[in-house]
Amino acid sequence: MDMAAQSPATQNFSDAVPDEAFVKRALDMANLNALRVALWQATGDAELARMGTVAVPFWSGVYDVIQLAPEHAERVKAKALAFLRSGAGSRLPHPEDVQIRDMMAMLAGKPVSDFIFEMGKEELNFVDYPRGVAWSGDGPPEGREGFHVLVIGAGVAGLVTAIHLGHLGIPYTIVERNPDVGGTWWTNDYPDARVDIPSHHYQLTVTRKHPWQHWFAPQPELADYIRTVADDHDLRRNIRFETEVAAAHWDESAKVWRIRLRDKGGTETAIAAHAIVSGAGLFNVPNTPDIPGVETYRGAFFHTTNWDHRFDHADKRVGVIGVGCTGAQVMPSLAETAGHVTVFQRSPHWVAKLEGYRDRIPDEVQWLMEAMPHYWNWYVFATYYTMFCEDGALFSIDRDWQREGGLVSRKNDALRQALTDAIAREFPDDPALARKLTPDCPPFSRRLVVDNGWFRALKQPHVSLVTAGITRMTPAGVVTDDGVEHPLDLVVWAGGFRAERYLWPVHYVGRHGRTLEEAWAKDGARAYLGMTMPDFPNMFMLYGPNTNPRAGGLFAWIEIWARYAVQGIAALIEGGHAAMECRRDVHDAFNAEVDAALGDCIWGLDGQASYYRNRHGRQGINNPLRPSVYYDKVRKINLADFVLD
């Protein structure tokens, strides 16, 4: 795909300007700080560079958004209107690094760190494939055509890996158990599923100016985006759909992985691959219910990952088990038509309203992103900056603050109070219900839930919140530990995933006959940088142990992990090596660093139970390292970390 043809830098927009009222509405809706920087890049107007900024709390104080100071708003809009009417092109379509960094500082209102600059430059997407991989020499080395990579999964991780491999001319095959691309965004098609990260950050740098229809994309829109990525890069021809990997073992003599595939009919075939990149991901194995009597229940029962769209829940008695992100997201939709909804809550989650969460992106905004040179780039950067500028500080424990009587840190405690007050305001006449909905843990010790109509639905007379524990199921419904039987026509299990089961159910056997089960027997899954392990050469996993990021949307990190894996494969081929294996001392030192960092994070606090902790009690999901620290480690592979042969 020719990304250069899509670049806003070389277009002339004078023929595209609609009537002035439309343009003024577009400018009223603009992120004026991003617009100011885009306009400065296009014109060099010194007045724009001197304008000030202010920090405005967003999402109950989770983030501070850097906005243009209000006194400059009309001036920027007037300048932008004049520029758009002039039909002029940009004076700086291809800025140098020093210019980019100066513009970042202009938007931020202060100089930016090396981390913000380097990762932010990728997000700006001024060059084609800013997270791509290239050969280090003058051209592709000999032997690449004979090297074959197996990519597991046609979700975003697998597709991005395939794009990188394709650019390098390295043969690959993708194996996907579903009938289409999309991964978790194909599987999770329950009613009203959507992202909780802004669409303009929950996207890939292999695309530019995708016309998102919602500020926070719903599942159908996101699934369509992923299909577009696959089709634009012609990836389907290398995908074996409705096929899964049953087992893989390392053949030391041949230096290849021997892999057993199984199709949906149960037929098995054998293939060999010189390297494996697993994009199976974190949310791969549904957490199935373990409730006594579940097999006796006569009503409809399904997990949110296996939604039965043939079932009409209108006027039915519906039970929702689980109030995390999925349960809180799907329940309001069910409540719109169900006769009665019973919500079974084991423990409450923090829920926060997010401005514009369900809103469509107006046509005026879509037009401005197309028409104004560089505005799309700086809008994307501004979104990135909001999420990364504090480097994950909200998750850090401030020991000095605790010694003064605080719970976690000044900011986390302030967020907790703001969320508590917000719940109380939702239910001024029912303080008992407000207390039931208020967690006793710090925000982000479990995933913060976006309010998708959760509080509004709970106020309806046909919606009941049950906090008594579930003891068993009967043919008619659910019995709680207060002895009450709740008759139900449909039970929705919103219990999430068994996130600690990385790479499951594939049976991997590495060097010396070592299995993953043996490697991870002590305290669960571990890997160097969350991607590679001793005894398992030429194997990378994306979204592995302790990689759930402290900041940012997942798609950006997936691209970074895929780049690292393909960098390793390219270096292997260029160096004429047959195998690369992570050194044991490097692996162990990194994991010691992770364990130490957990002690300074809210995820390491005692008594915090969630899917973050595995059966050993270890938090093996989230990455406690500051994003800046982790990015520096994974930005470019260090071959000294590996044994090459």
Nearest to 381 by CA among 41, 77, 89: 41
Specify the range with the lowest mean pLDDT, choosing from 196-205, 602-611, 612-621. Answer: 602-611
Locate tokens 């299909």: which residue? Answer: 227
Given this model, what pLDDT does residue 9 score?
35
pLDDT tens per residue across span 324-383: 889 999 999 999 999 999 999 999 999 999 989 999 999 999 999 999 999 999 999 999
Given this model, what pLDDT does residue 505 score?
82
Identify the helix (H) or strand (E) that includes residue 120: helix 114-124
Q: What is the CATH number of domain 144-284+499-644?
A: 3.50.50.60
pLDDT-derived band at 18 (thresholds 50, 70, 90) equals confident
On the question of pLDDT at 180 being above 60, the answer is yes
Pure H helices in 309-374: 325-335, 363-371
pLDDT tens per residue across span 96-137: 999 999 999 999 999 999 999 999 999 999 999 999 999 998
Residue 66 CB: number of other CB atoms within 10 A? Answer: 20
Name the 3-class secondary structure at 55.
Answer: strand
On the question of pLDDT at 6 being above 50, the answer is no
Which regions of the chain carry the CATH code 3.50.50.60? 144-284+499-644, 294-350+420-441+443-491
Averaged pLDDT for residues 628-645: 97
On the question of pLDDT at 11 being above 50, the answer is no
pLDDT tens per residue across span 574-597: 999 999 999 999 999 999 999 999
> What single-letter DSSP state applies at residue 9?
G
Specify the range with the lowest mean pLDDT, choosing from 47-56, 79-88, 300-309. Answer: 300-309
On the question of pLDDT at 609 being above 60, the answer is no
> What single-letter DSSP state applies at residue 112?
P
**Residue 378, Cβ density class (10 Å: 0-12 exposed, 13-18 middle, ≥19 buried):** buried
Residue 12 CB: number of other CB atoms within 10 A? Answer: 11
Query: What's the CATH fold of domain 294-350+420-441+443-491?
Result: FAD/NAD(P)-binding domain (3.50.50)
Strand partners, 479: 472, 485
Given this model, what pLDDT does residue 606 score?
60
- Beta 268-273 vs 256-263: how paired, if at all? antiparallel
Phi, psi of 226 (to 5 degrees): -65, -40
Show the tokens assigned to 289.
């219910």
pLDDT-derived band at 67 (thresholds 50, 70, 90) equals very high
pLDDT-derived band at 287 (thresholds 50, 70, 90) equals low
Given this model, what pLDDT does residue 352 score?
94
Given this model, what pLDDT does residue 613 score?
65
Residue 237 CB: number of other CB atoms within 10 A? Answer: 6
